[in-house]
Amino acid sequence: MTDRRPFIALCIVLILIIAGIVVWGYFGVEEVSVTGSTHYTDEEIEDMVMKGPLGHNSLYLLLKYRNRSVRDVPFIERMDVSIDSPTSVTINVYEKAIAGYVRYLGRYMYFDRNGNIVEASTEMIPGIPFVTGLDFDECVLYEPLPVQNEEIFSTILALTQLFEKYEIKPDRIYFDDEMNITLYFGNARILLGSMENIDEKMMKLKSVLSSIMGLSGELHLENYSLDKDEGYVTFERDD
């Protein structure tokens, strides 16, 4: 009686090869959508999530990321992967809510709205305010920035929201001992004083900012009020 086991084994191998080719072709990802990423490009996000020889196979991605998010990526809380069709994938990126950063021992220490250090990096992120004038002895990752007045973090958050509202991007924010605020744009210094009438102050800054860019001096907005000053402010050039 002829031994049919080699023939059966060969058939099984051929079936597996054909199945592999079908799976590889049918589940090959052709379209990738990335949402929520501002720090990384879509291509960088794709490379992080869809790495490896099977990284562009939607069936493999479904099994790999089912009930599992991508974590441990700098500046990102998590990334969720959803399979829209055998050939299309969506990657939803949820970034860490960063309010500002300080410099400590040659690194940029990024903190959230509660003052917790969420990231330490040698990379400076454009659009995140650099905060100076804070008094602290150390910065520890994932711990609160040890400052005496913790209300400063809600102030920083309010300022960053106004920066977005009025499309203003200062080089840095400075707080003095009395919590008075100064914004720096190159050599131009914007003295905001306290948070009183801060929306009116930022609105006025937006209207005059282009005329003082590149200049060296101080724009006084400490006591500015639209009703009181009728829109007039002074800029004192440096000698």
Residues 29 and 167: their CA atoms lie apart, in Å, by 38
Please list the residue range(s) of the chain that carry CATH number 3.40.50. Answer: 98-237
pLDDT of residue 104: 92
| Domain 29-95, CATH number (from 1.10.10, 3.10.20, 1.10.530, 3.30.70) | 3.10.20
What class has domain 98-237? alpha beta
Give 28's strand partners: 57
Please report the pLDDT score of residue 22 as a whole number.
64
Question: Given CA atoms 69, 70, 72, 73 in this order, what sign does their dihedral have?
Answer: negative
Q: Are strands 172-175 and 181-185 parallel, antiparallel or unpaired?
A: antiparallel
Helices 198-212, 152-166: inter-axial angle, 10-degree rounding:
50
Are the beta carbons of 31 and 89 closer than 8 angstroms? Answer: yes
First CA to last CA across the chain, in angstroms? 108
Q: CATH 3.10.20 residue ranges in the chain?
A: 29-95
Cβ distance 36 to 95 under 8 Å? yes
pTM surpassing 0.75?
no
Q: From CA 208, how far away is CA 103, in angstroms rounded?
A: 30
Query: Position of tokens 């500015």?
Result: 224
Cα–Cα distance, 152 to 166 (Å, whole number): 21
Q: Write down the pLDDT at residue 82.
A: 94
Give the closest residue to 89 by CA, choosing from 48, 9, 31: 31
Please, what is the Cα angle at 231 between 220 and 175, to 5 degrees? 30
Q: Give the pLDDT of the chain (239 residues) as one tens digit per residue.
A: 456 667 666 677 767 666 666 666 678 899 999 999 988 999 999 999 999 888 899 888 998 998 899 988 888 999 999 999 989 999 999 998 888 899 999 899 998 888 889 999 998 888 788 999 988 888 888 898 888 787 888 888 889 889 889 999 899 999 998 899 999 999 999 999 999 999 999 999 999 999 998 899 999 998 888 777 666 788 889 87
